Amino acid sequence: MKLRRTNLFVVAIAAILAHSLTQVARTSSTAEPISVPAAKRVHHYVFFGMDRKELKNAKTFLETKQFEGAQVAYSWRQIEQGKDNYDFGIIREDLAFLNAHGKKLWIQFSDVTFSPERINVPQYLLKDPKYNAGADKQYKTRENADENPEHEGWMARRWDPAVQERLHKLFVALGKEFDGRIVGINLSETAVGFGRTGKLWPEGFTHEIYREAIITNMKALKRAFPKSIAMIYANFMPGGRPNLEAVYKAARESNVAVGGPDLMPFRPFQRSNSYPLIRESAGKVPTGLAVQDGNYSDVNKETGKRADIAELLKYGSEELKLDYIFWCTEEPYYSQELIPFMRSAKRS
């Protein structure tokens, strides 16, 4: 689930420059050495996405003690098959299976897709006019322009009050059954593909309305899950870094965990947007990042080399101070590198 936000280039560069200037000012104003806290223990989970059937085939996962559990994605459509017709059977099944093998479950709630052929919201939202179609198209645009957009997937109308009401009701139902029984639950990433100019914006969408909706929704999730970890995947926000900062501030104030997709040390957009905010939140609320498809093979353009498992872990634990890392099963990296690394020794 990796949306590339090239339209954030200016914001990213500005953030990098501002951060650099701040560091210079701090260095020149004091002769005291900067103390870097030691890396904390990281909780390792395997991200199976929606391939939940692979749980029962994942012998290497079950036999690797360093993996505390699995992060499994469930779509809104899967677990609400009709209005108020909640079916949590697949979650119950996965939770029981994992617990029987000494593993824990982390839920990823999915209300977006990255394929034009699939929509993750319930059918009744699409049909009833009061929900304004329930979901809207996301697009891939090029060169910061909204001309000739490519349909890339679908997103639930998170900002639509009628849709939000249904979403929050689902959170309550999920929380009644699973709060305290699962380790955590996260919402899908905040990044959107609606272009920059407004030409592709859905009905009722603005940067400000979307920002407030994200904050409202994550607070509703936390109210439904006061015992388990409730996390927002806040990677990018329409409107740029200020809106992202507002989400992180609200998350810390509401004890909502923060994180996102993509542990990619070499990417300037991540390093100037969500990564500093995740690091700032460390020790205040739980934090986590997912190593998703394409992350293992990401190459440092300066060196021509990619980060191995040890380097990814070091960056996540020492630089970002993550509490949780969700490792994907992309091959050959999962079997040939991740599993041997995790089994080789106990690591913090």
pLDDT digits (tens, 9 = 90+) for 132-189: 999 999 999 877 678 889 999 999 999 999 999 999 999 999 999 999 999 999 999 9
Q: What is the pLDDT of residue 346?
A: 59
Contact 97, 61 (CB under 8 A): no
Segment 190-208 shows an average pLDDT of 94
What pLDDT shows up at residue 146?
87
CA distance 260 to 1: 10
Closest CA to 243 of 209, 271, 289: 209
User: Is 347's pLDDT higher than 60?
Assistant: no
**Where are the extended beta strands (E) located within 188-238?**
229-233
Q: Worst-scoring range by mean pLDDT, 29-43, 68-82, 114-128?
A: 29-43
Instruction: Please state, in angstroms and rounded to a whole number, the distance separating the CA atoms of residues 13 and 5.
Output: 13
Largest CA distance in the chain: 65
Helices marked H in 225-308: 241-253, 268-272, 274-281
Give me the sign of the Cα torsion angle 53, 55, 59, 61. Answer: positive
pLDDT surpassing 70 at residue 18: no
The mean pLDDT value for 25-50 works out to: 60
Domain ranges of the chain: 6-344
Q: Are 109 and 182 in contact (CB under 8 A)?
A: no
Tokens of 42: 């990281």
What DSSP designation does 234 have? -
Q: How far apart are CA 290 and CA 197, in angstroms?
A: 30
Amino acid at 147: E
Rounded distance, CA 290 to CA 188, Å? 12
Greater confidence (53 vs 88) lies with 88
CA angle 271, 277, 281 (to 5 degrees): 140
What burial class does residue 20 get, using C-beta atoms within 10 Å of its C-beta: 0-12 exposed, 13-18 middle, 19+ buried? Answer: exposed
Residue 70 Ramachandran class (φ > 0 left, ψ -120 to 50 alpha, else beta):
beta
Reference 95, options 188, 185, 166; nearest CA is: 185
pLDDT-above-90 percentage for the chain:
82
Task: Give 26's pLDDT tier (boundaries 50, 70, 90).
Answer: very low
Query: Can you read off the two tokens belonging to residue 236?
Result: 């990018």
Contacts of 78 (CB under 8 A, 6+ apart): 87, 90
The hierarchical CATH code for the domain 6-344 is: 3.20.20.80
Question: Model pTM?
Answer: 0.87
pLDDT tens-digit readout, 227-261: 999 999 999 999 999 999 999 999 999 999 999 99
Averaged confidence pLDDT in the chain: 89
- Band of the pLDDT at 31, cuts 50, 70, 90? very low
pLDDT at 141: 85
Check: CB of residue 247 under 8 Å from CB of residue 237: yes
